[in-house]
Structure 1
C-alpha cells in the first residue's frame, strides 16, 4: 500500500453510490452474493458502493486481504455498526482498537492455549456423544436448529460452566440478544433491538452472579470464565469485571453462530458427496477409532482436515468481513482509498479465485493435500477466520470442535437428506440452507 501524499493523483474505484443516505443497502440486503457477483463482473476486484450509511470500497482476492490485514491498526481501523457497539459492549475486543486491542487480545488468548484446548476436548467429546444419541432417538430432524442448540450448549458449558440443555431460559435470552445484532438499532417497545438490549442486561447479570460464585467459592473448574478471572497482562494487571463480561458475551456469538453454520455445511456436503464421506470413514478405520480424541489423535486425521478446510472454503460462515475505517488516504490496485471511507474484504469471492483454485466451484478436499496445496500459492487465499491482528481469537477452538464432531459423527452414524426441501443458501446473518437441512438420522 502506498501513501498518496507524495504520489500522482489516483481516481476512485469504479462503481456507484446509489441513493442518498441509504446508498445501495437495500439491494445488498436483498441478495448479498448476487450484489457482489454483479459488481465484480462489471468492475473487477475493487469497486465503490454505499452501504449502511457509509461510502464503502469492497475488496476481493488474496492481494486485497493482504493489503487490509497488513495495514489494520495503522492506516485502517476497525469500525462497527451501532448494534454491535451497543450489544457487544464498550469493553469487547470486537470494538477495541490500537494498543488497548492488542493488550486485551493477549489476555483473552490465554483461554485458547493448547493446554486449555486439551481440557475443552474432553467436555466436547462427552457432549457430542450425548447429542448424537439424542438425534438418533429423534430419527428425523432439522439439523441447523439442532446444531444451534449443540454449539450453544458447548459454548455455554466451556465458557461459563452453564448447560443450556438444562436451562432453556438461558437459550431464549441468548437468542433475543443475538437477533438484535443485525436489526435496525432503534429502541421502541417490543422491537427486536429493545428486546436485545434487555437480553444483554440479563446475560450480564447472570455473568455477575457466576463471577461472584467463583470468587466466593474458588474451584478447579477449567472454563473460559475461570481462566479469565486469573489472567494477567505483561505488567501483572488483571482484567476488569466489565472486560470479562463483555468479552465472554462476544465469545458466545463467535463460538456458536459461525460454528453452527460450518457444521451444517459439513453435514450437507458430506451427504451430497458420498465418496468423500467414505474416505473420511476409511481414515477413521485406519486410525483404529481412537477412544479418546486428544489433540495428538486429531492431528493424525489429515484427510478430515482437508475436508474441513474445503467446507470453510466453499461455504464460509461469514460472507462479509468487518468494515475498516480509512484513517489516512492511500492507494491500492491503482485506485484511491480515501480517508473517512470504509473498506471491507469479501471472503467467498476470494475463495473462488480461479488463479488459485482449480475448478473452485467443485467440492474437492484433495486441493488441500500436501501434493497440491493450492491455498499455499498465495498468502491469504484461504481466510475463513480472517487474518492479521484481528484473526479469529477462537480459531483453534472452532477447528477442534469441528474436527471432533466430524470424527464422532461419521464413525457410528449415517444420514440422508429428506426430499422436497429447499437447500438454497441464505447468507445473512450466517450461511445456512433455507429450510435448515432436514435429514433422516440413524446409527450405522
Structure 2
C-alpha cells in the first residue's frame, strides 16, 4: 500500500460513477444503505461520484488507519469536504491542513482542556438542570430539538460567553438554518434551505464580531476571551476574521454531534430498561450527596461503556471526507490525485470481524474483560483518530456525563407510542420523529 512508483495500469476501484455531472449524489443523500450495498458488492474500497467529485469510499479499521495515520500526508481536509462546508463554516480549523492547522489547533487547545474544563463544570451543570426542570413542567416534548437548544446554550455561554436568555433561542435557530444547508444543493434562491443557511451564517458572524470586540475590551473566562488573548511562541495572534470562523466552528462542533449522541442515549435508555437499571445502580453507588463532582464523573465506568456503545452503534456522522493530494494504492486499487475519499465510520462500527453481534446494543463489549475496540486499531472512530482526534472530546464527554447522571438519578420518562424512530443522517443522526417524550417526571425520593 504505497504511493511510490505507482503504476498507472493498476486498476481503479470497482464501482460506478453514475450519471453525468450529478453522479450518484441523489442516491447518496437519500439511500441510508448507499455504502452498505456497495460494500457488500465490491468490498472495502469502491468508486463512485458524489457531491461533484470522483470518490473512493474506504471501509474498515485498516482503511481508517491508512487515512488517519500511516498515509495521513496523502489527504487534505480542506480539499475533502463539500464546497457547502467551506462556504458556510469558513476556513476554520476543520478545513485547515499542515502547519496552519497545527498552529491554530495549539491556540484553541487551552479552551477545551485542563483548567478551562474545571471552570466550565458548574455552569454546564446549571444549564442542564434548568432544562431538566423545564421538561419536568412540560412533561411532553420532543427531545432532539430540546437537546439541540440545550447543547447550543452550553456552547454559546461557555465558549462565547453569551448571556443566557432569549437571544440564545434566536442564535440557536440561526444555527439550525446553517446546519440544514450543509448537505443540500447550494441554490442561493430566496426561500431555499441554502439561502436560509447563508443568511444564518451572516447573522451569526455579525453577532460573533460584536462579541469579539467586547472581549478585546473586557476579557472574561470563556473560550472566546482565551482566543482573543492567546499568542503563539512567536507572538502571533488571530485576526478578528480568523477568530470569527474559529468561533463559528466551536459553536458547530460544540453542539451538533453532542445533540445527536444525547438523543441516541435517551432513546436506548428508554428501549433497554436493563441497561438503564445498571446505569442507575452505578449512580446510586456514587451518589453520597446531591452534588455531582468531577471525581464522580471520572468513576462512571459503566456510563463510559454506554456512551462508547452509543458512539459505535449510533455515530452522529456516518463518515469523513478527505481530498487526495497524493495518489496511492489500497488493497490493489489505484486512487488518483484530485479525487476525494470517504471513510465509513458507520460500517466500520458494524463490522462483525471487529465487534461481536454488531447490530446489538451491548455496553459490556467495552468492559475490561472484552475491550473489543482495542483488538484492532482505529475500529472506534466516532471522534476521529490520530493527530486530528476531536479537539472538543473532553468537553463533550463531561457534558454528556453530567446530563446522563442528572437524568438517570432524578427522572423517569416514556416514549410516545407509534412515532417514527427510523434514523435520519442529515445533518447529524436523529430519529425522524425527533424523539417524542411523554410523562417526563421526577423519581420519588
TM class by shorter chain equals over 0.9
Task: Provide the residue aligned with 2:302 in structure 1.
Answer: 303
So what's the TM-score if we normalise by structure 2?
0.95
Shift of 1:289: 4.6
| Aligned position for 1:229 | 228
Residue 172 (structure 2) aligns with: 171
What is the alpha-carbon distance in structure 1 between the residues aligned to residue 153 and residue 324 of structure 2?
Answer: 38
Query: Does structure 1 retain, via aligned residues, the 8 Å contact 2:66–2:72?
Result: no
Listed as ranges, the matches of 1:131-142 within 5 Å are 131-142=131-142
Show CA shifts across 1:162-197 (max 9, x none). 246432322332223222222222322333323322
Pairing of 1:273-288 with structure 2 (within 5 A): 273-288=272-287
Q: CA deviation at 1:108?
A: 1.0
Task: Give the match for residue 360 of structure 1.
Answer: 358
Structure 1 residue 206: Cα displacement:
1.3
Per-residue deviation, residues 360-419 of structure 1 (Å, max 9, x unmatched):
111110000011111010111001101123222211111111111101100000111111
* Residues 216 and 225 in structure 2, CA contact (< 8 A), matched pair in contact too: no
Q: Distance in 2 between matches of 1:87 and 1:290?
A: 45
- CA distance 1:72–1:124, shift in 2 (3 Å): farther
Instruction: Give ranges in structure 2 of 5+ residues lacking alignment.
Output: none
TM-score (ref. length: structure 1): 0.95
Counterparts of 1:439 and 1:6 in 2: how far apart (Å)?
56
Find the aligned partners of 1:250 and 1:257 in 2 and give their Cα distance.
11
Q: Provide, for residues 38-97 of structure 1, a one-character-per-residue CA deviation record: whole Å limited to 9, x for no partner.
A: 11111111111110111100011111000001256511111222211111113x112212
Q: Please list the CA deviations of residues 125-174 of structure 1 after superposition, one character each: whole Å capped at 9, or x if unmatched.
A: 11111111110100111111111111111111111122464323223322
Specify the alignment match of 2:380 in structure 1: 382
TM-superposed CA distance for 1:7, in Å, is 5.6
**In the aligned structure 1, how far is the partner of 2:147 from the partner of 2:288?**
24
Q: How far is the alpha carbon of 1:217 from its aligned partner?
A: 2.9
- Given the alignment of the two structures, is residue 428 of structure 1 paired with residue 426 of structure 2, yes or no? yes
Residue pairs, 1:43-442, within 5 angstroms: 43-70=42-69, 74-78=73-77, 79-90=80-91, 92-163=92-163, 165-167=165-167, 168-218=169-219, 221-321=220-320, 323-440=321-438, 441-442=440-441
Provide Cα deviations, 1:197-222, integer angstroms capped at 9, x if missing partner.
2322222221122122222234xx32
Matched residue SS, 1:74? helix
Counterpart in the other structure of 2:19: 19
Secondary structure at the counterpart of residue 126 of structure 2: helix
Larger mean CA deviation between 263-272 and 109-118 belongs to 109-118
Q: Which whole-Å CA distance do the structure 2 matches of 1:380 and 1:434 have between them? A: 30
**TM-aligned CA distance change 1:45 to 1:4, over 3 Å:** same
Q: Evaluate the alpha carbon distance shift between residue 72 and residue 153 of structure 1 in structure 2; reply closer, same or farther with a 3 A threshold.
A: farther
SS in 2 for 1:357: coil
What is the CA deviation profile of residues 333-360 of structure 1, one whole-angstrom value per residue up to 9, with x for unaligned ones?
1211222111110001000111111111
Does the 8 A contact of 1:118 with 1:294 survive in 2? Answer: no
When the two chains are superposed, the root-mean-square deviation of aligned CA atoms in Å is 1.6
Q: Do the aligned partners of 1:73 and 1:98 also contact (CA within 8 Å) in 2?
A: no
Partner of 1:34: 33
Q: Distance in 2 between matches of 1:5 and 1:120?
A: 52
Q: CA deviation at 1:324?
A: 1.2
In structure 2, distance between residues paired with 1:347 and 1:6: 28
Residue 318 of structure 2 contacts residue 346 of structure 2 at CA under 8 Å; is this kept in 1?
yes
Q: 2:319 aligns to what SS in structure 1? A: coil
Supply the distance in 1 between the matched residues of 2:71 and 2:291 (Cα, whole angstroms): 40
Query: Does the Cα contact within 8 Å between 1:131 and 1:150 map onto a contact in 2?
Result: yes
